[in-house]
Structure 1
Amino acid sequence: MREEKKLRLVIDEGVLKIVDWARNEVLCEFTPDELAEIIEFRYATPWNRSKDIMEKLMYILNDILDAYTSSEEIFPKKGDIIKRVKFRVHNQAEE
């Protein structure tokens, strides 16, 4: 019987990483360019549009992480995080 793999997708330093959670080992990394190429091929989307989308997604995901880590609340509400990301509030206390 095959052992169940415990894999996670992690976005770190602007790349998508496939991580073996049990061994804490990065198995593979995908750059935004590579992801854009996959989108272009699979969905017939122009490469420049796909790359633009991936770059924006990476910025947003990094902003979400920053909003969570810089929040003064232990468990911030999702609505507060969305507001902080939309309005680009970084490392500031909520008003």
Structure 2
Amino acid sequence: MVALTKEGVEIICRDTGGVVATFTWNDIADILQFRYATPWNRLKEVLEELSLTMGELDELYAHARSQGREVSKELIEDYLKKRKTF
């Protein structure tokens, strides 16, 4: 199983739930650059934006739930796109 984290990507064993391997966003950028011959600076920029967005998504969800608010995909998407806060 693959899990995205703020730091990168983790490969998780389905049987034990343990982390088999961890790839940072820089590791992923290196792999993509090598595989698809994409410029490093563009890949790094996109992955940094993805990482920041994932962190914001996690924080928004946790904050909304702590306030007892009903959370939906549409609500989180609206808050992320418009950079709103709860």
- The separation in 2 between residues aligned to 1:14 and 1:88, in whole angstroms, is 21
* Other-structure match for 2:51: 58
Q: CA deviation at 1:13?
A: 4.1
Ranges in structure 1 where 5+ consecutive residues have no aligned partner: 1-6
CA shift, 1:70, in A, is 1.4
18, 26, 32: which one aligns with 1:33: 26
Supply the distance in 2 between the matched residues of 1:67 and 1:22 (Cα, whole angstroms). 31
Q: More relative contact order in 1 or in 2 (CA 8 Å, sep 6+)?
A: 2
1:18-47 CA distances to partner (integer Å, 9 max, x unpaired)? 112431201100111111111112222101
Query: Runs of 5+ in structure 2 lacking a partner?
Result: none
Instruction: Quote the offset at 1:10 in angstroms.
Output: 1.8
83, 86, 92: which is aligned to 2:81? 86
User: Structure 1 stretches (4+) deviating beyond 4 angstroms?
Assistant: none
TM-score (norm 2): 0.81
Which structure would you say has the larger Rg?
Answer: 1
Structure 1 counterpart SS, 2:20: strand
Q: CA deviation at 1:53?
A: 0.8
Alignment size in residue pairs: 83
Judging by fraction of residues, say which structure has more helix. 2
